[in-house]
Amino acid sequence: MKPTKITAAIAVCFAAQAAANSQASDNIVNLTSPTATELEVISITANRHVNEVYPSIANQTVITASDIQALNASSLGEVLATIAGFDLSSNGGRGQTASVFLRGNNAGHTLFLLNGVKLSSATLGLTDFQKVSVANIERIEIVKGPRAALWGSEAIGGVVNIITKSGENGTEIGAKIASFNTQQLTLSTRVEHGEGQTNILLDHERSDGYHVLEFAAPDDDGFRYNSLSVNGQQTLSSSLSLNWLLNFDRGQNDYDSAFGGADQSKHNNQQLALGADYAIGAQVVSVDLSRMVEDTTTYDTVSTFASRLITQREGLTITDAIELDGNLDLFVGAEIGKETVSGDQNFAKTERDTSALFVQSTYVVGQAQFEGAARYDDIDGVDSELTYNLGIGYAVDKNVNVTVNLGTGFKVPTFNDLYWPTDLYSMGNPNLESERSKNLEVAAYVQQDNANLKVSLFRNAIENLIEWTPNANFVYQPNNVDSATIKGFEVEFGLNLERSHHHINASFIIPTNDLTGETLTLRAKRRVNYVFGFDINEHWSTTTHVSYVSEREQKAWDGNINKIGSYVQFDLNGHYQLNTNTRFSFGVKDAFEQQEPSAWGYLVPGRRLELQAKYLF
């Protein structure tokens, strides 16, 4: 069996295929295949429903499990770092706190979903994506630009929807060993029942880690994670089907903080979802229930002090996708939800209700495709929000498309921002408003038989940015004090030859604080990625990832600016397909030890080796 042709990160939605319905098969370009039509992936995140005829003209990328495997990626952060527009800041390696700055936006301005279920914490407003097991990922759907008109709060920079594996036709076991005494065992299997199936995935990973903070007492900051994912679907009739998701992950990790205090955390998280789809003629009605629980306890191993925090989010969503005729469709929906907080902190308020109504439509006429969406959100304790998306795509010819997208977004203040209990050093602010944004993007797409090019220019203006600042008594409190403007462009180029596959992307951003004129911290203005895949023969293949990251700035507690250097990093990966059922992979990350820290004072792991094997039976 010939090895999978993989380069990385890489299914770029080729939009505005309005010239003819036959162009729908060209909508997604994947550099892992010689032709786009070999990829059978339909992205649902941009439209929030399946639209096989006219996929969204939003800027989209789809990463497959094969891409992740080619990279020998051990964390979600490693995967996202290969995509244009993604910048990451990490307090160390795998298991440590990390932030994503999509197109220069703040860390809390990217909405993370797991099979459509929101993952972010209601207290911090951030997603601890480093805990997500990449072994359980079937694909990652990414939409760049605001999508609040369909998904609500946090979707300012974009949306990252992680879709868990649906299982192989059989049982697969995997094992990995890596530097720092890292070990991983995985098991996945599928159980079929009539016209349905249930997929079960188990993952255990542990590592001794390494000393991550330069100024802390030397120690190893390791982790131990265990996860169980169960998902499936059942067709009950030609009209009715059910789907479900149960995801549990628990573990602990050691870390170092520049401010001292807690240095270990344990978590016990879960995501549950149950959905039903009912087809009535040319429309599909969907009902989805979801529940997310994040239970985290932090410890100070020196003083034995412990603090527990539990956040919970429950939701009900009802949607109706209607195909009105061959050129027009309509998608409407309603949501209600509740967020609660409990634990050792005495928040001034511990729960809030949310509700929303949204509508989206696509209309095709001639060579043009029009999209529009609007959403109204009502959040208890915060002003209501009305957001929209407007887009037009035009097919210049069968190979060239141009799109223009305009949209707004918002991020609701967190429980910490609004209701943090008053003490000697800090207090919440119940009078905060949501952070709001307006984004404009213009993009051009060109595709030939074995090559594709995408160029995107964007501008995002954000107001009411929340910042914790001290008052006259040096008590820190959040306020809507900042605004920012982010300008930038991205270029992505892919080329598939007979035995080699190339993907190059470059991004340049100017993220500016409007009040001070300073560059927003921790963002690299320039990033370049080159992923090169080569098929040596029917058994052997290689994948090389070369990345360039420009220098960053980070403001210290005393107001001084610390400079973080630029670097070029090489990751080398090899794969051996022994037979249809057995595959071996090896990797050398940061082969020449050139990587610089992405947060001042924190250390990088340096060169590290990985070896893994998978067997399907």
For residues 4 and 10, the answer to whether their CB atoms sit within 8 Å is no
Q: What is the mean pLDDT of residues 395-402?
A: 94
At 74-84, the pLDDT tens digits run 999 999 999 99
- Interval 575-585: pLDDT, tens: 999 999 999 99
CA–CA gap between residue 507 and residue 517 (Å, rounded): 21
Strand partners, 508: 489, 526
Q: Which of 102-111, 152-161, 379-388, 554-563 has the lowest mean pLDDT?
A: 554-563
9: left (phi over 0), alpha (psi -120 to 50) or beta: left
Reduced to 3 states (helix: H, G, I; strand: E, B; else coil), residue 264 is strand
Residue 3: per-residue pLDDT: 34
- 135 φ, ψ to 5°? -65, -20
Please give the Cα distance from 299 to 309 (Å, whole number). 12
Identify the band that residue 558 occupies on the pLDDT scale cut at 50, 70 and 90. Answer: low
Task: Write the DSSP symbol of residue 258.
Answer: T
What local confidence, expressed as pLDDT, does residue 319 receive? 97
The one-letter amino acid at 488: G
More confident residue, 90 or 550: 550
- pLDDT tens for 9-43 read 333 333 333 333 333 333 333 434 333 333 445 67
Please report the pLDDT score of residue 42 as a whole number.
61
- For the segment 461-498, what is each residue's pLDDT rounded down to a tens digit? 999 999 998 888 889 999 998 899 999 999 999 999 99
Q: H helices within 447-595, ranges in order?
A: none
Give the pLDDT confidence of 190-236 residue by residue, as tens digits.
Answer: 999 999 999 999 999 999 999 999 888 888 999 999 999 999 999 99
Per residue in 251-283, pLDDT (tens digit) is 999 998 877 778 899 999 999 999 999 999 889
Contact at 8 Å (CB) between 180 and 205? no
pLDDT > 90? residue 537 = yes
Tokens of 221: 């900051």
Question: Tokens standing for 569?
Answer: 């990093």
**Confidence (pLDDT) at 17:** 36
Give yes or no for residue 302 having a pLDDT over 80: no
What is the pLDDT at residue 333? 97
Q: Is the pLDDT of residue 355 over 50?
A: yes
pLDDT of residue 258: 73
Structure tokens at 181: 């005494």
Question: In Å, how far are 73, 93, 129, 188, 437 from 588, measured between CA atoms?
Answer: 11, 15, 23, 26, 41
% of the chain beyond a pLDDT of 70: 92
Tokens of 49: 């429903």
Where would I find the beta strands (DSSP E) of 418-499? 435-447, 451-470, 476-496
370 confidence band (pLDDT: 50, 70, 90): very high
Instruction: Classify strands 305-325 and 328-343 as parallel, antiparallel or unpaired.
Output: antiparallel
Structure tokens at 96: 């440590």
- Reading the block at residue 247, the tokens are 């995801």
Q: HSE-up of 42 (CA within 13 Å, CB side)?
A: 12
- Choose among 291, 264, 259, 286: nearest CA to 275: 286
Q: Return the structure tokens found at 61.
A: 């990328």
305 by DSSP, 3-state: which? Answer: strand
pLDDT tens digits along 114-136? 999 999 888 888 888 888 889 88
Res 2: pLDDT:
35
pLDDT confidence of residue 26:
37
Measured from the Cβ of residue 560, the count of other Cβ atoms closer than 10 Å reads 8
**b/e for 220-235, b at 16 or more Cβ within 10 A?**
ebbbbbebbbbbbbbe
- What number is the average pLDDT over the span 378-407? 95
pLDDT at 30: 43
Sheet holding 59-64, edge to edge: 28-30, 11-13, 59-64, 137-144, 158-164, 110-114, 117-118
Q: Find the helix or strand (DSSP H, E) in which 70 lies.
A: helix 65-71
**Residue 53: predicted pLDDT:** 64
Which tokens go with 579? Answer: 């037979």
> In terms of pLDDT, which residue wins out, 284 or 94?
284
Task: List % helix, strand, coil for the chain (3-state, nearest 5).
Answer: 5, 60, 35
Query: Backbone phi, then psi, for 70, in 5-degree steps?
Result: -65, -35
- pLDDT tier for residue 292 given thresholds of 50, 70 and 90: very high
